[in-house]
Structure 1
Amino acid sequence: MKYKNPKYRKKRNTFPLEVSCGNCKTPMVIYAKGSKGNLIKLQVHRIIASAVDLENNEGHLICTNCKEELAWKGSFDGNETYWIIRGKVNSKRLSGY
């Protein structure tokens, strides 16, 4: 990953998850997931590293390789959040990260 997230805060009982583009399989984000459910949203303070500069990213999350829109930007409980478009991303649990 190219960019480390300066807003990342460690959270207990989380595991790293690599989120990649569903079209071209390019890794986009490493995310600290907290529960066993489906990946619906990416809260910015839980993103560990990213292929896109999140500080200067004003709009939606777009793949750097194929320019496909993966998630749209919104808000959840007062936190900046990327809401994933269903079927556009793949996720894989990382061990030892």
Structure 2
Amino acid sequence: MLRVSDPMTNPIITIYSTAICPYCVAAKNFLKSKGLAWTEVRIDTAPGEREKMVERTRRTSVPQIFVGETHVGGYDDMMALHRAGKFEPLLVGA
């Protein structure tokens, strides 16, 4: 996990992921390119976390990305928000 953004002033980014998920890698690479930090929750090594993820998102695929308590969705959802100019405002709590 990269620690560049300030969790005291910015919402915490959480990514539910697995080791073999290429979209998880792409999501983390995107966040890293933005200088952002995240908390990774591996659902393949902690089975109880998969159940929590499904309860929070109603989805079974990874990655599932949260900015603070806002469910962004998967990698494609995050990139669509970014292209629409709506991802960055989430990062400052807007």
Bin of the TM-score, shorter chain as denominator length: under 0.3
Give 1 or 2: higher strand fraction. 1
Give 1 or 2: higher helix fraction. 2
* Length-normalised TM-score, structure 1: 0.26
